[in-house]
Amino acid sequence: MSRLRLIYLALAIIGAVWPMYHFLTYLLGEGGSFSGMLAEWTDGPAVTGMALDLTIAGVTLVVFAIAETSVRRNWSALWAIPATLFIGVSCGLPLYLFLRTRPV
Model confidence pLDDT, tens digit, residues 16-73 = 999 999 888 888 886 777 788 788 888 888 988 998 999 999 999 999 999 999 898 8
pTM summary value: 0.86
- Which residues have CB under 8 Å from 54's CB, separation 6+? 88, 89
Check residue 91 and give its pLDDT. Answer: 96
pLDDT higher than 80, residue 11 = yes
Residues contacting residue 2 through CB under 8 Å, at least 6 positions apart: 101
Contact assessment for residue 88 and residue 54, using Cβ atoms and an 8 Å cutoff: yes
Residue 1 has pLDDT above 90, yes or no: no
Q: Among residues 59, 94, 60, 99, which one has the least CA distance to residue 78?
A: 99
Output the CA–CA distances (angstroms, integers) from residue 72 to 65, 68, 97, in the order listed.
Answer: 10, 6, 13
What pLDDT score was predicted for residue 2? 92
pLDDT at 102 over 80: yes
Q: What's the confidence (pLDDT) of residue 47? A: 87
